[in-house]
Amino acid sequence: MDGKEVAEVSGEVTAGKTTKLEVALPDDLAAGEHALEVGGTSFAFTALRPAEFEVGKLAVDPEVAKVRQEIAVAVNVENTGEATGMFPGVLEADGKEAATAPTEIAGGERVPVYIRFSQPKCGKCRLNVSGSKADVMVVKPVRLGHGAVLKNSLGGGGGLIAVENRYPYDAMLCLTSSRSAKKPLLAVYVRGRKSASIGGLRPGTYYVFFSIGKDWNRYTDDFLTSYGRERFAMPAEFRTRQWTSRSIDYAARMIYTTLYTQSTRFTITIGSSNGKKRAKVVEVSGDKFPTP
């Protein structure tokens, strides 16, 4: 090969027959063009650089999953060699092999590799595909009690909000400051087809958000399966008004003063309004929805 002896090949060839002889090429053979001569016959060949794989960033969907729910892992893999190779596609979960997706990749190609698996237990799970790592949180969904208050920092007033959930699915209602719509001040869980009231709210102007879904989890304080997130377009303004009245008992020579306090009470209806005009709502993306 290339003018140097690299191997000796021998074998019996029966008259009129063809025999295949195998030539072992050197392990340190350089990539590129080479000339090979065997038994007086010469020919050229090209040695390709072997397959080598570069693995991109893992994409995990969903990033928070239920126990035994199918989790999809996608990763872009590039073969930086010249020869076609088989990428093993081994997915490790917490150091143990969880699934494989062997994928043939031609030299110089970059292709997506998809691997699917599920986890039988709760907790944060560390994923690894050929050195590229990511996390997935596996949770066990719960259903909270009707009227469960997840957060309330609006105490100290006389305001009241009554929530009627007409959906068959559970809901979470959030009130936030009109100045900081991402930070929840009040959050309450309302089961489907039920109503709840929260009183003692102090005066102020608040945005009213609500989320509809199922599979509540305490890791994100949200529904894993969401059927919609919305906010009422107009903020709710809670006010407290006080006034006094005086009465005179001339016989007893007494003056009586009575203090009256009036606070705002809102009724929020989530879902169908039975033909009545419904307050305008706007859709809210998951990353902008306030969570307790």
Residue 5 or residue 77, greater confidence = 77
* Residues 41 and 28: beta-carbon distance below 8 Å: no
pLDDT value at residue 183 = 86
* pLDDT one-digit tens code per residue, 194-212: 999 999 888 989 999 999 9
- Fold match, 53-139 / 149-237+267-288: yes
Domain boundaries, the chain: 1-47, 53-139, 149-237+267-288
Domain 53-139, CATH number (from 3.40.50.720, 3.30.9.10, 3.30.1390.10, 2.60.40.10) = 2.60.40.10
| DSSP state letter for 180 | -
Q: Do the Cβ atoms of 291 and 184 come closer than 8 Å?
A: yes
**CATH architecture, domain 149-237+267-288:** Sandwich (2.60)
Burial (CB < 10 A; 0-12, 13-18, 19+), residue 227, is middle
Q: Which two tokens stand for residue 266?
A: 């809102």
pLDDT score of 255 more than 80 = no
Is the distance from CB of 103 to CB of 73 less than 8 angstroms?
no
Whole-prediction pTM:
0.72
Q: Does pLDDT of 104 surpass 60?
A: yes
pLDDT tens by residue, 196-252: 999 988 898 999 999 999 999 988 899 999 999 999 999 888 887 766 777 777 777
